[in-house]
Structure 1
Amino acid sequence: MEDFAPSPLPYGFGHLDDLMEEAGIDVLLVTSKHNVQYLLGGYRFIFFSAMDAIGHSRYLPIVVYTRGAPERTAFVANRMEGAEHANRPFWTPRFLPVAWGTEDAMAAAIAHLKAEGPASPRIGIEPSFLPLDAARALGDAFPNAPLVDARGVLERLRAVKTPAELTLLRTASEKIGASMAATIAWAREGSTKGEIIDRLRIEETERGLQFEYCLLTLGASHNRARSPRAWGPGEVMSIDSGGNLDGYIGDICRMGVLGEPDAELEDLLAEIEAVQRAAFGAIRAGARGAEVIVAGQGELARQPNRSCTDFFAHGMGVITHEAPFLMTNHPVTYEGSDADRPLRAGMVLSVETTMLHPRRGFIKLEDTLAVTEQGFDLYGGDGRGWNRGGTA
């Protein structure tokens, strides 16, 4: 069964089947673009990176997977994706490029499931990514079939990355770091937040990344939104950006200063660094996820500016917050369901410490690390000190 797919996939069918059985799911109907990408082995259509509204509806890719029967898998696609299949055939035995919107996509998925699925399936869905009209059609077609939340199955499936995935995440982080260094060096007195963000977009794009976002602060302000606010001498810059490389997210934060950092700034960033390093030291395969949080929070409690500083860590990969989930509702709303589970080699973490200093501004480091058997591997670790602006 594991050799069914004609090309390497980042998961095994046996592992997926086990997760589905544990969750009480017979059939998966996967409708989120990030999980469709993952199940198809890294495929990304034009709508994956752009607005997906079209006509009166929207793009809705659907992967239909029956537990224990990967040979029955179907990919319901937009009609234009026939050309994609001609260039690089999908591994799914059934390819159905028949849809323009949500209702015809779900109609094709239902027809396939009735023809090749179990008689009374327990259907796993992604509630947050299933439009109402498609969900109603599915419920009407299978009135006696329970719909089961399958998000946990797919999160567990993605949690441990393959070497190829880790390479993408490392490369994305390195490219973002290089883009940030170039942008800070380019920016000078009078450069506005909007201009700096636009420059970072250019730097990331030229390095082969899809620019996702930039959260930027200048000076004493804690406001990270785009604005005409300009950089002044002696002021700090916090530059936090995500860039996408073939469907995998790099996300780090670095600090700049216009001029030379004074002793206070050096001390403030050293506080952040101490918290980060304490958390790093708890990362290793077999350690409970909560140990990372305890280590970071413990070091933070010893810092002079702890009252205006926050620490957290989370998993990342295909999206910016994914398994392992280490904290509850901090800052994103979800349960820290992996806090008491052991970390596994190949998991990827984002570790963040943020200071909202009342006079000096927003001071933050965010780092990406892969869990290894011996400890961790830091991705894109350059530029973690004060980067000087206006030096290009």
Structure 2
Amino acid sequence: MESFELELDKFWMHEVSTKAWGIQDSLNFAVPYIRDMGADITKIGIEPDFLPYEAALALKKHLPGTELVNCQRPLELLRSIKTSRELEMIKKASDDVVHSMLAVVAAHGPGATKHQLVSALAAEEIKRGLSYEYCLITAGTSLNRAPSDYVLKQGDIVSIDSGGQLGGYIGDLCRMAIVGEPDAEQEDLIAEVDAIQTAARGAIQAGVSGKEIYTAANAQIARSPNAKYVDFVAHGLGLVTHETPRLAPSGYPYDNPDAERPLEPGMVISVEAAIKHPRVGFIKLEDTLAIELDGSVKAYGDFGRGWTRFGG
């Protein structure tokens, strides 16, 4: 079936065979391919999560003397360093996700439902050449981020957190919008979130350990009047929304083996801070920072970060 994907230029591998059907057929191509690499091969790197058990048994049988080695970690580390082309893809995806959000907010207003906003966002992302991935959306004072038939009314605040994919690479950002004008408290709250984001962003540099992002963010959170309502996370971004470098402290769904490692050119980091205020609602910003190959740090999709007004 991959012959169609090959026609669509979906593969990054230099050599692709589309003549196999099932595991055994695939191994009939894979085993000779490995043998032709050289007789001195003693180890084969695998990602166990993606290798069928039947395939592992067959590799051991047909390639005696070789050892199957779990190489998920080194492959993740390799994937964490993007090429200039990969960085360009993530930048375009990020820019277009935010452009899509702003277009939806400009074209809607009171009376629109969360479902309608999400459908319009998907259409805007597709129009810009992205594959729509998801949208988490709140409205009013609710902290519920599921699309629903909730109808926007004057004064409602809306958080839009969406991912769109371009050539396999994710743009993942969150922006805020409001029906009408923000009051002083709402301005203060988004300023608090922005201050946390600014502190975290300032810690992102080549050669600095990943944990410093959390150190900087936590110091700013401690100064926030709404610290008890704050959520913050920093994570790698690329082919998936949470990839290496893994930086989140213990208690997150995955470990943080990269917290002590220095950040490197080619890495892309997402930083996201939210205040889940029980009375005002859900206020969040999510930004994408890339350490370019020359060591400079650039923010992708870095616009629309204040209160965007519905209806333009």
**Do the two structures share a fold, i.e. TM-score over 0.5?**
yes
Match of residue 343 from structure 1: 263
Distance 2:80 2:303 in 1: 26
> How many positions carry a matched residue from both structures?
311
Match of residue 371 from structure 1: 291
Q: Is the 8 A contact 1:253 1:366 kept in 2?
A: yes
Shift of residue 387, structure 1, vs aligned partner:
0.8
Taking the TM superposition and a 5 Å limit, the aligned residue runs for 1:346-361 are 346-361=266-281
Give the superposed CA RMSD: 2.5
Moved over 6 A (4+): 88-91
TM-score (norm 1): 0.73
Q: Does 2:91 correspond to 1:170? A: yes
SS state at 1:97 partner = coil
Match of residue 226 from structure 1: 147
Match of residue 262 from structure 1: 183
Per-residue CA distance 1:350-382 (angstroms, 9 max, x = gap): 011011111122111000011256652111111
Shift of residue 307, structure 1, vs aligned partner:
0.6
Per-residue CA distance 1:212-236 (angstroms, 9 max, x = gap): 1111111122221222222222111
Shift of residue 245, structure 1, vs aligned partner:
1.2
TM-score (norm 2): 0.90
Distance 1:237 1:150, change over 3 A: same
Distance 2:202 2:261 in 1: 18
Per-residue CA distance 1:165-184 (angstroms, 9 max, x = gap): 22221111111111001111
Q: Is the 8 A contact 2:273 2:284 kept in 1?
A: yes
Distance 1:154 1:190, change over 3 A: same
Distance 2:134 2:234 in 1: 19
Taking the TM superposition and a 5 Å limit, the aligned residue runs for 1:304-343 are 304-329=225-250, 331-333=252-254, 335-343=255-263
Taking the TM superposition and a 5 Å limit, the aligned residue runs for 1:1-392 are 78-80=2-4, 83=7, 92=14, 94-114=15-35, 116-118=37-39, 121-142=42-63, 145-329=66-250, 331-333=252-254, 335-372=255-292, 376-391=297-312
Per-residue CA distance 1:131-166 (angstroms, 9 max, x = gap): 344344435545764322211121121222222222
Distance 1:172 1:125, change over 3 A: same
Show structure 2 runs of 5+ residues with no match.
none
Distance 2:54 2:250 in 1: 30
Distance 1:97 1:108 in 2: 10
Show structure 1 runs of 5+ residues with no match.
1-58, 60-77
**Percent of residue pairs bearing the same amino acid type:** 46
Q: Is the 8 A contact 1:283 1:375 kept in 2?
A: no
Distance 1:81 1:389 in 2: 40
Shift of residue 339, structure 1, vs aligned partner:
1.2
SS state at 1:99 partner = coil
Distance 1:89 1:235, change over 3 A: closer
Q: Is the 8 A contact 1:107 1:137 kept in 2?
A: no
Distance 1:328 1:175 in 2: 31
Shift of residue 99, structure 1, vs aligned partner:
2.1
Q: Is the 8 A contact 1:281 1:375 kept in 2?
A: no
Distance 1:206 1:110, change over 3 A: same
Q: Is the 8 A contact 2:5 2:11 kept in 1?
A: no
SS state at 1:228 partner = coil
Q: Is the 8 A contact 1:173 1:250 kept in 2?
A: yes
Distance 2:211 2:279 in 1: 33
Shift of residue 89, structure 1, vs aligned partner:
10
Shift of residue 284, structure 1, vs aligned partner:
1.4
Distance 2:13 2:45 in 1: 21
SS state at 1:213 partner = strand
